[in-house]
């Protein structure tokens, strides 16, 4: 009864601390309990539990004195503070626990730590039991339950106390009992009681029982899960709190970082599900974390540490499930390096004890160890025997394992101790791709030798050394193009200041880092072990400091999101770690050797070889007997680790870097203030943490106007031909890790798919990428100089040269204090700021591009390529590449020069007219004639670009047009234009390439005509054609008296429909299409506004109808693809397919869950993908048609690239825009058409249908479910095609033009 009174007091309105109550009252209370405080041991949870119960008892006793009770209860809302002692915590949260479960109070306190766990467990147990009970006695209704709950509370308390006071007995039990056991115990008891007793009573008893159990469990938990409580300890806490919120009516929190999952109160079943989900997610994450941590220790050569972690996990029943053989293998390798066979023996027996089978890598480790310490033949025999009895073969060791350092030699030595004649297995025979599309390409009969570069072997080797050096340094610092201007005295002063500050910061950050590492080492209590520690030891401290300080150099005054910065930091650490690893494992030396031989294939002064670059590389590797030792074991870090590491470093940085406040204003008193501050900004209702530099710092940086830029070496173009792609993770840069397929964080599916794919299937894709990367580039220096001069002057927005910040609109100067400003003034200020921020980012982007271009202005360079998940190719260096805007494209030239030949000059002229955007509807001949007509303008532009008549400035792509003008001028003035050596790339664009593929897939006659698949005297314009069709529909409707059709008279134009038609291919919906059209209609001044909605709605329908009419099969195909994807996704799988070139593709769209990472400074909500995730049906479905079409256009591009290569052409692409020399445009055009025909002559849709039928509907069970039947029907029902004769593409001039 006392308890009830207590509760009533708590819930009463006076129970909460009123606003007037000062803090001092609270503190005086907490000091009153010093005795208990002295007794308590804060780290020991067991003691805490006892204390709670003691406190509870005390509370019960003292409740006779009302004042005391009230006094205590007043504390309740604050009881969960971290700054109060656990006793109070317990007291405060104790009573709240007893609140009747269904929404009583407004919002209960949040109990802490294990008390929380306890409560969570209780809730779960309760619900479980309730479910059991309702099964046993089905009429159990909620009302009586609720009633029953209130009464037996006192009983529960008594029981719980009794149990806890059974002292050591209970404790021992808790330790010994594994979790499942405890559960198992609880269940049968509950059942028994349920059957035996009346409903209400049963609930009470079972609950009491459950509570006691839960307490024991809660006690046991922190011990059982040392790993989890490392840094993730907050995650379960959040969960626990959620569980708590289920039993109360607490409203939902809108903190972005603490979104709890929620479950209905009444459904016990639901309650369990999120818990399990959490476990799954955690487990996959933890598994990766454990592995990557062990890898770190392997790198650090600390087997003791590795084993400690492993054993920690091994001993915990929960964690043990997370360990698989590879985790043990890492530790074995660790010991093997040290030659400690004893430990390996132990690990083998441990493996056996948990029922895991040793893998090849385990044996490799054992043999390596024995080779190292020269063990007795008997021991070696023993392992070899076991290896054989496990079904492996000795040869497999050398075929399947990846080796570092001297591991391979040691293993061989061990084997040869017992088998002196053992020979390494021969390298696998090179296979050739059998794709029908590439038969010619791979057949050895009509081999055309690889086009040579204009370099000798020696020159290339020198370049390789430069590249290697750059990559080993990881970063490169270059002069920016702004360096041309002499620094002002103010700048000189600011630079000096910055210099001294930097050295101070360096010391401060170094100190902070060392201190934090030190404190991590000290926290040796296993439960508090900091998982980040090994990650902070991988590099020398100086390197961490360098990486951290780099942030300061690049941070924009507007600040940057915390998560972005954290990722940047940890990625830098990671890439540095990989470099170190490659150095340590001697992988680099081996690669260097192979590369030096490899360049013989490319150099002009060596024998021509009949190999493709990849083939040649593979041959060299096989000859050198390097096999698999060139590739490193995959050692990527899980996302959570990356974020934590980044956040930790960021926190150090924010705390350590300070600046005197009076730096710029000496009148202020001196004190140091942080340079970086952490602040939240709000985007919609999301809360985003930002790191911003202090205005003082920004001011100094602006004043200093430093002219050096530091880039990661992978941001620079390569100085030597890229390493050919030979596998999904080997190729491109020399040291930097590059993946064949780009992926978004944590999407591992592609990587897995590529690894499972037989290597020979990837050959075409690898070869195409190698080929694209092997194109050598150089800088168009005259154009670059003009651009830089404008850039360093005042920029020019019209010409896409972003002006400097000094040109930004000046904010209006306002009188008085900012708080008195008017609304409009504030708005204006804000707009100015926004504009300045935009200008800053544009300016920086241009600065990066131009500075890199300027840095390589005298060099020949290469862009290594990789691709996205659909096979679309991209150059790896992010800032400066040929995919960039008009400005960047204009400064790029092929390094290789070719004579113009008879038609080259004409092609240059046509290319120029194409770049201007004029004469789009005219035939090529007319464009050429037009070019000849305006030759004077062209020459004037070339000769006096800035001072002349500036014809080039008023074109669509002014800078490329200017470059082209200059080339034409030079060529036409040369004595023999046909012999003029041109480096200029000429482009050929596909016209609405997506629709071209659709039209070809569906063999649509009208469609094919309108997208230029059919020969025609003038280029067809699909947008005009659609507009015409829409107009026809409109006329008919208008005649029939449809109001809106009449209103629209005279408003339908190409422009109105263009965007929608263009995006139809990419799956635009009616909704999106309507918005696009509405926007266009709004731009028409005299269109009546009141009809906007209706008109756009009508028009989008008509556009879709027109496309349906013209591309009848296209819509069918789109529909078929969409429907198929929908059914596949609904069956719980992701949509996968294989391109005609054999590239496997999977759509990476999953329903993601966000987990909260507690990272000290701020909690981060991160997406955590795992393989068990469900596909996002909407995305899978909507994205399939466009992705499929993209996979086709990329296939077409790759086919063209490969065949161009066989013809000795220089070829690069920007998706559907193909580049080559003017001399070879005709050949490229022919190949492009041939390959298009060849590609679409394949039964693409049939093949897709068959592939999917096999993948998704293979009858693995006898019974076929309804959904499977439906899916089968859908997949086998391939849309029919039209009458178009594909061969006609061959003669179509404007197909690509």
Partner 1 sequence: MLAGQAPPGAAGCGRLLAAALRPLLCGLSPCWVAGRQCRGLRVAEAATEEAQVVQREHRGGVPVRRYIACPRLARTVQQCLQRGAGPQPLLLEFAPGPGILTQTLLNAGIRVVALESNLAYLPNLQSLENSLDGQLKVIYGDFCRLDPLVSGTLKPPAVCSEKLFETMGVAAVPWKADVPLRIFGIMPHTLERNRLWRLLFGLYECNSIYRYGRVELNLFISEKEYMVLRAKPGEVWAYQALSVLAQIGCEIELLHKEPWSSFATDLKNGSLAIPKSKWLPNDHLCLVRLTPQQNLFTGGLKPTNATTFIFMVKQCLAKPTSRLSARLNSWSLDNGGKLLKALEIPENAVMRDLYPEDYRRLFEALQNSSMFTETWFYDEVLETVRTINL
Query: Could you list the active site residues?
Result: 989, 1058, 1216
User: Residue 810, interface with partner 1 (CB under 8 A)?
Assistant: no
Instruction: Name which position in 352, 376, 625, 1093 contacts partner 1 (CB under 8 A).
Output: 1093
User: Residue 1151, interface with partner 1 (CB under 8 A)?
Assistant: no
Q: How far is the CB of 185 from partner 1 (least distance, A)?
A: 33
Contact range with partner 1 by CB under 8 A, out of 251-259, 538-546, 763-771, 888-896: 251-259
Compare residues 398 and 1098 and give the one whose CB is closer to partner 1: 1098
DSSP string of 814-848?
--S-GGG--HHHHHHHHHHHHHHHHHHHHHHHHHH
Three-state secondary structure call for residue 53: helix
CB 761 within 8 A of CB 754: no
Other Cβ atoms within 10 Å of 1239 Cβ, number: 23
- What is d(CA 1272, CA 1256) in angstroms, rounded to the nearest whole number? 8
Instruction: Name which position in 829, 832, 923, 1272 contacts partner 1 (CB under 8 A).
Output: 829
Torsion of CA 1255, 1260, 1265, 1268, to 10 degrees: 10
Compare residues 71 and 1230 and give the one whose CB is closer to partner 1: 71
- What is d(CA 1081, CA 1092) in angstroms, rounded to the nearest whole number? 7
- What is d(CA 689, CA 105) in angstroms, rounded to the nearest whole number? 33
- What is d(CA 137, CA 144) in angstroms, rounded to the nearest whole number? 13
Q: How far is the CB of 11 from partner 1 (least distance, A)?
A: 12
Q: How far is the CB of 1104 from partner 1 (least distance, A)?
A: 17
Compare residues 104 and 491 and give the one whose CB is closer to partner 1: 104
- What is d(CA 1269, CA 677) in angstroms, rounded to the nearest whole number? 59
- What is d(CA 269, CA 132) in angstroms, rounded to the nearest whole number? 11
User: Residue 88, interface with partner 1 (CB under 8 A)?
Assistant: no
Build a one-symbol-per-residue string for 680-699: x at contacts with partner 1 by CB under 8 A, - elsewhere: xxx--x-x-x--x-xx----
Q: List all residues 6 or more positions away from 162 whose beta carbon is below 8 Å from its beta carbon.
A: none
User: Residue 1095, interface with partner 1 (CB under 8 A)?
Assistant: no
Compare residues 689 and 901 and give the one whose CB is closer to partner 1: 689
Instruction: Name which position in 35, 167, 252, 522 contacts partner 1 (CB under 8 A).
Output: 252
Compare residues 13 and 1259 and give the one whose CB is closer to partner 1: 13
Residue 1202 CA from chain centroid, whole number: 30
Q: How far is the CB of 451 from partner 1 (least distance, A)?
A: 56
User: Residue 1079, interface with partner 1 (CB under 8 A)?
Assistant: no
User: Residue 978, interface with partner 1 (CB under 8 A)?
Assistant: no
CB 750 within 8 A of CB 743: yes
Contact range with partner 1 by CB under 8 A, out of 603-611, 823-831, 915-923, 1243-1251: 823-831
CA dist 377 → 26, 278, 369, 383, 1249 (Å): 75, 49, 13, 10, 57
Contact range with partner 1 by CB under 8 A, out of 44-52, 81-89, 139-147, 177-185: 81-89
Q: Is the C-alpha dihedral spanning 298, 304, 305, 311 positive or negative?
A: positive
CB 860 within 8 A of CB 777: yes
User: Residue 422, interface with partner 1 (CB under 8 A)?
Assistant: no
CB 591 within 8 A of CB 630: yes
User: Residue 522, interface with partner 1 (CB under 8 A)?
Assistant: no
Q: How far is the CB of 250 from partner 1 (least distance, A)?
A: 4
User: Residue 142, interface with partner 1 (CB under 8 A)?
Assistant: no
Compare residues 489 and 815 and give the one whose CB is closer to partner 1: 815
Exposed/middle/buried for 878, CB within 10 Å: 0-12, 13-18, 19+?
middle
Binding-site size for partner 1 (CB under 8 A) equals: 69
CB 575 within 8 A of CB 712: yes
Instruction: Name which position in 451, 487, 593, 674 contacts partner 1 (CB under 8 A).
Output: 674
Three-state secondary structure call for residue 1080: helix
Exposed/middle/buried for 1027, CB within 10 Å: 0-12, 13-18, 19+?
buried
User: Residue 16, interface with partner 1 (CB under 8 A)?
Assistant: yes
Instruction: Name which position in 4, 57, 81, 274 contacts partner 1 (CB under 8 A).
Output: 81
User: Residue 249, interface with partner 1 (CB under 8 A)?
Assistant: yes
User: Residue 1132, interface with partner 1 (CB under 8 A)?
Assistant: no
Compare residues 76 and 612 and give the one whose CB is closer to partner 1: 76
Q: How far is the CB of 812 from partner 1 (least distance, A)?
A: 14
Say what angle helices 1225-1241 and 993-1002 make with each other, to 10 degrees. Answer: 40
Paired tokens of 1196: 């077409």
The number of CA neighbours under 13 Å toward the Cβ of 673 is: 14
Compare residues 1043 and 1055 and give the one whose CB is closer to partner 1: 1043
Compare residues 28 and 500 and give the one whose CB is closer to partner 1: 28
Instruction: Name which position in 34, 43, 61, 253 contacts partner 1 (CB under 8 A).
Output: 253
3-class DSSP string for 990-1058: ECCHHHHHHHHHHCCHHHHHHCCCCCCCCCCCHHHHHHHHHHHHHHHHHHCCCHHHHHCCCCCCHHHHH
Q: How far is the CB of 18 from partner 1 (least distance, A)?
A: 8
- What is d(CA 1080, CA 1025) in angstroms, rounded to the nearest whole number? 18
Site for partner 1 in 257-296 (CB under 8 A): 257, 260, 262, 264
User: Residue 678, interface with partner 1 (CB under 8 A)?
Assistant: yes
Q: How far is the CB of 486 from partner 1 (least distance, A)?
A: 32
Other Cβ atoms within 10 Å of 264 Cβ, number: 10
Q: How far is the CB of 15 from partner 1 (least distance, A)?
A: 10
- Which stretches of 640-707 are assigned E, i.e. beta strand? 658-660, 672-674, 676-683, 686-693
Compare residues 487 and 811 and give the one whose CB is closer to partner 1: 811
User: Residue 107, interface with partner 1 (CB under 8 A)?
Assistant: yes
Instruction: Name which position in 254, 269, 744, 805 contacts partner 1 (CB under 8 A).
Output: 254
User: Residue 670, interface with partner 1 (CB under 8 A)?
Assistant: no
Site for partner 1 in 17-76 (CB under 8 A): 17, 19-20, 22-24, 26-27, 76
Q: How far is the CB of 114 from partner 1 (least distance, A)?
A: 17
Task: State the residues that interact with partner 1 by CB under 8 A.
Answer: 16-17, 19-20, 22-24, 26-27, 76-78, 80-83, 103, 106-110, 241, 245, 249-255, 257, 260, 262, 264, 654, 661, 668, 671-674, 677-682, 685, 687, 689, 692, 694-695, 817-820, 823-824, 826-827, 829-830, 833, 1093, 1097, 1162-1163
């Amino acid at each position: 009864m006392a308890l009830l009174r207590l509760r009533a007091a708590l819930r009463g309105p006076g129970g909460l601390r009123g606003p007037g109550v000062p803090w001092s009252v609270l503190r005086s209370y907490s000091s009153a309990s010093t005795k208990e405080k002295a007794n308590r041991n804060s780290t020991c949870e067991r003691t805490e539990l006892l204390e709670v119960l003691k406190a509870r008892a005390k509370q019960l006793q003292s409740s006779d004195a009302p004042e005391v009770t009230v006094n205590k209860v007043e504390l309740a809302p604050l009881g969960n503070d971290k700054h109060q002692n656990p006793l109070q915590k317990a007291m405060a949260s104790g009573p709240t626990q007893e609140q009747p479960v269904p929404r009583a109070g407004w919002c209960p306190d949040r109990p802490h730590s294990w008390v929380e766990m306890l409560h969570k467990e209780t809730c779960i147990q309760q619900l479980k039991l309730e479910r059991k009970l309702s099964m046993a006695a089905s009429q159990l209704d909620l009302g009586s339950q609720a009633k029953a709950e209130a009464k037996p509370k006192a009983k529960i308390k008594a029981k719980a106390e009794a149990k806890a006071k059974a002292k050591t007995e209970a404790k021992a039990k808790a330790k010994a009992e594994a979790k499942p056991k405890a559960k198992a115990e609880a269940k049968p008891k509950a059942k028994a009681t349920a059957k035996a007793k009346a409903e209400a009573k049963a609930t009470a008893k079972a609950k009491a029982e459950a509570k006691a159990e839960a307490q024991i469990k809660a006690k046991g938990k922190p011990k059982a899960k040392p790993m989890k409580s490392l840094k993730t300890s907050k995650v379960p806490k959040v969960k626990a709190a959620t569980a708590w919120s289920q039993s109360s009516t607490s409203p939902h929190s809108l903190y972005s970082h603490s979104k709890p999952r929620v479950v209905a109160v009444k459904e016990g079943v639901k309650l369990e599900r999120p818990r399990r989900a959490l476990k799954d997610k955690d487990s996959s994450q933890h598994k990766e974390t454990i592995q990557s941590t062990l890898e770190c220790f392997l790198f650090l050569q600390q087997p003791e540490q590795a084993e400690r972690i492993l054993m920690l996990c091994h001993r915990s029943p929960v964690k043990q499930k997370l360990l698989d053989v590879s985790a043990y293998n890492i530790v074995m390798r660790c010991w093997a390096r040290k030659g400690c066979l004893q430990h390996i023996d132990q690990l083998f027996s441990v493996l056996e004890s948990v029922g895991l089978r040793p893998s090849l890598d385990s044996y490799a480790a054992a043999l390596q160890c024995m080779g190292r310490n020269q063990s007795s033949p008997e021991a070696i025999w023993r392992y070899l025997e076991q290896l054989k009895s496990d079904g492996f073969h000795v040869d497999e060791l050398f075929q399947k394992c990846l080796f570092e350092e001297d591991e391979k030699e040691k293993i061989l030595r061990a084997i040869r101790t017992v088998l002196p004649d053992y020979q390494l297995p021969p390298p696998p025979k090179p296979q050739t791709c059998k794709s029908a599309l590439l038969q010619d390409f791979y057949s050895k009969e009509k081999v055309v030798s690889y086009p040579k570069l204009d370099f000798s072997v020696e020159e290339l080797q020198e370049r390789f050394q430069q590249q290697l050096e750059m990559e080993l340094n990881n970063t490169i610092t270059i002069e920016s193009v702004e360096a041309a201007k002499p620094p002002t005295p103010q700048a000189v002063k600011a630079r000096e200041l910055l210099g001294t500050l930097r050295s101070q910061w360096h010391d401060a950050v170094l100190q902070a880092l060392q201190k934090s590492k030190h404190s991590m080492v000290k926290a040796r209590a296993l439960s508090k072990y900091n998982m980040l520690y090994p990650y902070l030891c991988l590099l020398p401290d100086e390197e961490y400091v360098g990486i951290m300080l780099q942030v300061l150099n690049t941070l924009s005054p507007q600040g940057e999101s915390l998560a972005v910065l954290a990722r940047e930091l940890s990625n830098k650490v990671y890439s540095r770690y990989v470099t170190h690893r490659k150095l340590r494992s001697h992988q680099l030396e081996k690669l260097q050797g192979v590369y030096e031989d490899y360049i013989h294939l490319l150099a002009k002064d060596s024998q021509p070889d009949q190999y493709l670059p990849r083939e040649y590389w593979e041959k060299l590797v096989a000859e050198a007997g390097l096999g698999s030792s060139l590739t490193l074991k995959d050692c990527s870090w899980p996302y959570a680790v990356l974020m934590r590491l980044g956040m930790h470093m960021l926190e150090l940085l924010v705390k350590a870097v300070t600046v005197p406040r009076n730096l710029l204003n000496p009148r202020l008193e001196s004190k140091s203030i942080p340079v970086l501050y952490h602040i939240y900004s709000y985007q919609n209702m999301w809360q985003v943490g930002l790191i911003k530099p202090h205005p003082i710092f920004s001011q100094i940086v602006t004043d200093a106007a430093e002219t050096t830029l530091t880039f990661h070496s992978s941001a620079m173009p390569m100085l030597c031909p890229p390493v050919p792609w030979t596998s999904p993770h080997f190729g491109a840069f020399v040291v930097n890790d590059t993946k064949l397929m780009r992926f978004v964080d944590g999407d591992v599916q592609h990587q897995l798919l590529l690894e499972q794919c037989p290597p020979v299937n990837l050959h075409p894709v690898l070869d195409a990428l190698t080929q694209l990367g092997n194109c050598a580039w150089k800088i168009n220096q005259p154009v670059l100089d003009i651009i830089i001069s404008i850039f360093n002057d005042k920029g020019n927005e019209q010409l896409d040269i972003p002006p400097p910040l000094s040109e930004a609109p000046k904010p209006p100067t306002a009188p008085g204090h900012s708080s008195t400003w008017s609304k409009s003034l504030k708005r204006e200020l804000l707009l100015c700021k926004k504009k300045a921020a935009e200008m800053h980012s544009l300016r920086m982007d241009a600065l990066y591009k131009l500075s890199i271009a300027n840095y390589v202005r005298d060099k020949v360079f290469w862009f290594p390529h990789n691709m996205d998940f659909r096979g679309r190719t991209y150059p790896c260096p992010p800032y400066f590449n040929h995919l960039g805007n008009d400005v960047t494209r204009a400064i790029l030239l092929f390094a290789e020069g070719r004579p113009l030949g008879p038609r080259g000059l004409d092609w240059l002229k046509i290319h120029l007219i194409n770049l201007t955007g004029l004469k789009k509807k005219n035939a090529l001949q007319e464009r050429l004639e037009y070019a000849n007509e305006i030759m004077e303008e062209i020459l004037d532009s070339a000769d006096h670009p800035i001072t002349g008549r500036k014809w080039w400035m008023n074109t669509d792509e002014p800078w490329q047009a200017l470059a082209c003008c200059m080339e034409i001028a030079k060529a036409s003035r040369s004595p023999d234009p046909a012999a003029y050596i041109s480096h200029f790339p000429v482009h050929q664009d596909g016209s609405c390439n997506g629709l071209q593929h659709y039209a070809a897939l569906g063999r649509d006659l009208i469609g094919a005509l309108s997208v230029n698949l059919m020969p025609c005297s003038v280029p067809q314009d699909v947008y005009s054609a659609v507009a015409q069709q829409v107009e026809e529909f409109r006329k008919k409707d208008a005649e029939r008296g449809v109001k809106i059709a009449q209103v629209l008279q005279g408003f339908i134009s190409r422009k109105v429909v263009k965007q929608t038609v263009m995006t139809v291919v990419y799956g635009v919906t009616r909704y999106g299409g309507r918005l696009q059209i509405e926007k266009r209609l709004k731009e028409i001044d005299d269109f009546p506004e009141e009809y906007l909605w209706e008109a756009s709605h009508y028009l989008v329908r008509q556009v879709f109808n027109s496309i349906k009419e013209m591309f009848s099969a296209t819509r069918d195909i789109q529909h078929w693809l969409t429907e198929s994807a929908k059914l596949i996704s609904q069956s719980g799988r992701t949509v996968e397919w294989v391109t005609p070139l054999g590239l496997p593709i999977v759509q990476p769209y999953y329903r993601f869950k966000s987990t909260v990472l507690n990272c000290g400074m701020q909690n981060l909500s991160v997406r955590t993908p795992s393989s068990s995730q469900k596909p996002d049906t909407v995305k899978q479905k909507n994205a399939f048609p466009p992705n499929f079409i993209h996979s086709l256009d990329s296939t077409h591009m790759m086919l063209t690239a490969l065949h161009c290569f066989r013809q000795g052409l220089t070829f690069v692409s920007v998706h559907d825009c193909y580049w080559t020399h003017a001399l070879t445009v005709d050949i490229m055009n022919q190949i492009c058409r041939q390959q298009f025909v060849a590609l679409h002559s394949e039964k693409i849709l049939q093949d897709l249908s068959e592939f999917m039928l096999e993948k998704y509907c293979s009858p693995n069970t006898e019974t076929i479910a309804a959904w499977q039947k439906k899916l089968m029907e859908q997949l086998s029902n391939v849309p029919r095609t039209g009458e178009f004769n594909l061969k006609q593409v061959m003669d179509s001039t404007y197909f690509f033009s």
